[in-house]
A and B are shown apart, each in its own frame.
Chain A
Amino acid sequence: MYDAPHTAEMKVNQKEIKFDCRDCQVYYGDTHAIKDVSVQIEDKTVTAFIGPSGCGKSTFLRCLNRMNDTIDVARVEGSFLLDGENIYDKKVDPVQLRAKVGMVFQKPNPFPKSIYDNIAYGPRIHGLAKNKTDLDDIVERSLRRGAIWDEVKDRLHASGTGLSGGQQQRLCIARAIATEPEVLLMDEPCSALDPIATGQVEELIDELRESYSVVIVTHSMQQAARVSQKTAFFHLGNLVEYGETGQIFTNPVDPRTESYITGRIG
């Protein structure tokens, strides 16, 4: 679909492919929500999914860690290769997969537990800590990486729901990092946040790129332009265009992409 015009430049930037998705279809009952989507998501890169509401970008994101399994009527077809292994293969345990492909949701959803327990939740489930000191380390490291340690270090045992919206979202990101995932999926992580909190989270996403492959769904084109290196534009269940962020925003190939970016369709 993406016929790279600058092949030479591409080769220089070529990175390892983390997710290789081919001919993906998703049905909700009779609705065909995702049509023939093929996309290759690179490691240590921020990939942004943009597109109007209902275009299927969140649905596609949820396919990547099999969150659609929890919806009875959803049916997924096609091949989703994570490091060459199809995640919809029978021998893949979706629970294990989700530990490897973490997710941050649109609305901050800290558990009604203490900040410490929120972070320790994943490590405890997966047995990542040998002892209490080890767990303490994981919690501190995750909170530091989530850029929220300084704000909460004195009240680790206060409830996570008592934080502000931006702090809650960073807590949720820290919680996702704590299980040491390889890919981090973010479904409109800033839509419930004010500009300052959004700025903090975006900064955080940029830092996370060093160690993870990050996929972010966003409605804000400025945000996609700011944080991502690759951008995919979805429209009515189709992947219309996928390429370098700079190229998508300055010189889109498809007229629909241009219309969306300039605000003529939405």
Chain B
Amino acid sequence: MPIFWLFLIVLAIAAVGFVIGRQRALQSAGGDSRGLHSLPGYYGWNVALKAMVPAFGLMVVWLLVQPIYVSSTVSGMIPESAIAEGSSMGLVMAEVRRAAEGLDSAVAAGAITEDFARNARADVADVTQRLKDAGQIVTSQITQPVLRAAQEYRILNNTGNLVMSGLVIAIALAGALYALRETNAVFRARNVVEQGVRALLIAAASIAVLTTLGIVLSLVFNTIEFFRLYPASEFFFGLNWAPSFSGRGGASDLGILPLLWGTLYISIVALLVAVPIGLFAAIYLSEYASRRLRAVAKPAIEVLAGIPTIVYGLFALLTVGPLLMEVFGKEGLGWMQSGTSVMTAGLVMGIMLIPFVSSLSDDIINAVPQAMRDGSYGLGATQSETIRQVVLPAALPGIVGAILLAASRAIGETMIVVLGAGAAARLDLNPFEAMTTVTAKIVSQLTGDADFASPEALVAFALGMTLFVITLGLNIFALYIVRKYREQYE
């Protein structure tokens, strides 16, 4: 039975339970809802929840456990000898799964009968031929152990699904019946629903946290795998980035320093653009602009934050790069070799970051109490003196937080770098040279055709992990500063 149908059946049981539970509660109070502890709807929800939650819980657990159980049972059936030279258990199991799917589809298409698919003594060549005739893609020759395993795999899965369907429906019914039995006028259905809502919210929050954990773990294991293949000291202190793709390992230089340097250099240029412009814009908007101008200008600046970074990348490649070439290129000062450079990417990234800095700073400057400004004006200070000497120092921790958040955004940026800064990993001080960043290299390492188990591909995870640690550090630092600032005024 498809999972979808099972899902619908449980929902239907819950829906029916809702209606009956509601009625039953009303009956127990003699048809007068004022005699009930809770509103009638709560009794309905109580029944529906008790039908759904355990049933769906079992379903999820079963769906997680069954593939693991089936795989381990079936792989136990395959003898060591069946695994060909240069192959592995994983590959053979993939073949088993493909064969099982082939059998499934062939049965569904009517090319073979269920009995035939299950026939353990069937001739391997015959089955292969029939599957091919039925339009199923199978490896050239299914071996006897693989066919046996595939048949066993199908049987186990089918029985598993059947048992699961039965159990889930039974539990849903049992839950509904149990809830209906406890439904009477004094039962506190409202409190049960309250707990249900709470559990739902906790579940949503934990999924968000667990996902973060999962992302970190997936990075960690691959990073550890990388460091087993490639010495960590050379990764962290190597001055050269030259992965070899043809050699499949061995001859690669995978030093992170040129990439980190490129990342930091481009980020610094970006911040040098974004921080003054964003901060001054924020000061103007919060201190000088009239309310009407502010209502128009603030959203207009925030539009910049809504532009996809790939569009910024195109802007860098097609407009800013050629523009810089005219001034600093061969025709002009001669410092620039091509349109892609640290400057190009940094300038465009700076523009992208303006709304981050301005919007956050604007909020923070507005949060400085009016009493501070009054105090300063009352002493005969002008507006700019007040801003420079009272408002900005008071808002400084928050502004630093905003800048750090913008910085971690800059460090993680990819598309603008790919299009604007070039792909050459280089340790250089000239901002008109092409350089590249950690993120851009992660993309190029994973989109190549390198073997996934080679250090050239795995280095992407180590790079990602390094980047993650850096931006996490920045974010925590930013949050710490912002929080410290909040305590001062609230």
Contacts and interface: CB of A to CB of B under 8 A. Distances in A.
Interface of A: 65, 67, 70, 72, 95-100, 102-105, 107, 109-113, 121-122, 125-126, 161, 172, 175-176, 179
Contacts of B373: 70
Given A112-B394, A161-B488, A105 B374 contact: yes
Given A70-B373, A112-B394, 15 more contacts: A72-B291, A102-B378, A104-B378, A105-B375, A109-B375, A110-B375, A111-B393, A112-B372, A112-B488, A121-B390, A122-B380, A125-B380, A125-B381, A126-B380, A175-B379
B377 A67 contact: yes
A125 B385 contact: yes
Contact of A105 (B290, B378, B389, B393): B378
Interface in B376-418: 376-382, 385, 389-390, 393-394
Contacts of A102: 378-379
A266 B291 CA distance: 35
Contacts of B377: 67, 70, 98
Given A67-B377, A70-B377, A113-B393, A95 B371 contact: no
A74 to B, nearest CB: 14
Q: Is the interface of B mostly helix, strand, loop or mixed?
A: helix
Contact of A98 (B369, B379, B390, B488): B379
Nearest to A103: B378
A114 to B, nearest CB: 11
Please give me the 10 A-B residue pairs with the lowest Cβ-Cβ distance, nearest first: A99-B380, A103-B378, A109-B371, A98-B380, A122-B379, A109-B375, A112-B394, A125-B381, A95-B382, A111-B390
A112 B371 contact: no
A113 B378 CA distance: 17
A176 B378 contact: yes
Contacts of B376: 111, 121
Contacts of A67: 374, 377-378
Interface of B: 290-291, 369, 371-382, 385, 389-390, 393-394, 488
Most buried by A among B371, B379, B488: B379
A165 to B, nearest CB: 13
B488 A111 contact: no
Nearest to B378: A103
Contacts of A110: 375
Given A121-B389, A125-B385, A161-B488, A109 B372 contact: yes
A228 B362 CA distance: 43
A95 to B, nearest CB: 5
Given A109-B369, A109-B375, A95 B380 contact: yes
A105 B381 CA distance: 16
Most buried by B among A121, A126, A179: A121
Given A112-B394, A112-B488, A125-B385, A107 B371 contact: yes
A226 B455 CA distance: 85
B394 to A, nearest CB: 5
Nearest to B379: A122
19 contacts: A67-B374, A67-B377, A70-B373, A70-B377, A95-B380, A95-B382, A98-B378, A100-B380, A102-B378, A102-B379, A105-B374, A105-B378, A109-B372, A110-B375, A112-B393, A121-B381, A125-B380, A125-B389, A179-B379
Most buried by B among A104, A109, A110: A109
A96 B369 CA distance: 23
Contact of B372 (A95, A104, A111): A111
Contact of A176 (B369, B379, B385): B379
A161 to B, nearest CB: 7
B27 to A, nearest CB: 59
A110 B369 CA distance: 11
Nearest to A111: B390
Nearest to B382: A95
Contact of B375 (A111, A161, A179): A111
B184 to A, nearest CB: 56
Contacts of A175: 375, 379
Contacts of A112: 372, 393-394, 488
A20 B371 CA distance: 28
A122 B376 CA distance: 8
B299 to A, nearest CB: 21
A105 B371 contact: yes
B240 to A, nearest CB: 49
A110 B291 CA distance: 28
Nearest to A66: B377
Contacts of A70: 373-374, 377
A129 to B, nearest CB: 15
A125 B393 contact: no
Contacts of A107: 371
Given A109-B369, A112-B488, A179 B380 contact: yes
A96 B380 contact: yes
Nearest to B485: A112
A212 to B, nearest CB: 15
B384 to A, nearest CB: 11
